Amino acid sequence: MGRTFFVGGNWKCNSTKASIASLCSTWKESGAGVAGPPVDVVIAPPSVYAVAAAEQLPSGYQVSLQNTWTGKGGAFTGELSAEMAKDCGINWVILGHSERRHIPTIAESDETVATKVAYALGAGLSVIACIGETLEEREAGNTNAVNERQLAAIAAKVSDWTNVVIAYEPVWAIGTGKVATPDQAQEVHAALRVWLAANVSPAVAESVRILYGGSVSGKNCNELAGKEDVDGFLVGGASLKPEFTAIVDSHK
């Protein structure tokens, strides 16, 4: 069975009520994602805007949080639980984004990310689990080792991968305008499938969607989407722009 193309948009800590209304209306007019082969589109607004954005996005687009807590809600000031997301009709969460791993005041460890992934899945959310190496790690020849270490932490806590989408996001490509070449992305995605086949199962390796993220734009998406193991994208900057619809349609 083929893997349905997937395009995620991560708005990070950007947007206003006015910018969301304007963007959603432009996207609706474009008709992207409507005709042709199916595509899953999942948008992650800042949480305070998530419910309002859900009401304005083109029909069929789903909404995600950008983070959830490691467990059930309670005395955790400032956090959001997976149960709250579900209660608000939000079925997705992005976890392990490199900004949450590498910004020093956040500094989520592999273990924390894995705990969050397992908890969110158990609470009924689907998860976009992000992994990726820094430039220093790539230049030291450790790309696969780093990605496999981050994935292994998740695999140690997750047994059912049905609701997991993996986003390979090289840190050096995020928000930098330096996009991985289609061959670089394909090479890592293929290696991840080999790792999954050996360490999880051949069925999961075949069925799990692996997205590429890092400076994807309306200009470079078609070539990347043409690669066998690139099942879609997680998009930051371009998901705040009209050109996002070209990325949604890049698999056609």
Q: Which residues bind ligand PEP (CB under 6 A)?
A: 10, 169, 174-175, 213-216, 234-238
Whichever of 213 and 232 has its CB closer to ligand PEP, that residue is 213
Whichever of 200 and 232 has its CB closer to ligand PEP, that residue is 232
Tokens of 165: 């989408």
- Min. distance of Cβ 180 from ligand PEP in angstroms? 10
Tokens of 7: 């395009």
Nearest to 224 by CA among 182, 178, 166: 182
- Min. distance of Cβ 11 from ligand PEP in angstroms? 9
Whichever of 14 and 30 has its CB closer to ligand PEP, that residue is 14
3-state DSSP assignment of residue 205: helix
Would residue 169 show up in a list of annotated catalytic residues for this protein? yes
What DSSP character marks residue 209? E
3-state DSSP assignment of residue 90: coil
- Min. distance of Cβ 126 from ligand PEP in angstroms? 17
Which is the catalytic residue, given 97, 108, 148, 189?
A: 97
d(CA 175, CA 12): 11
Which is the catalytic residue, given 108, 169, 189, 251?
A: 169
d(CA 237, CA 148): 26
Would residue 108 show up in a list of annotated catalytic residues for this protein? no
Tokens of 14: 């950007």
The residues annotated as belonging to the active site are 97, 169
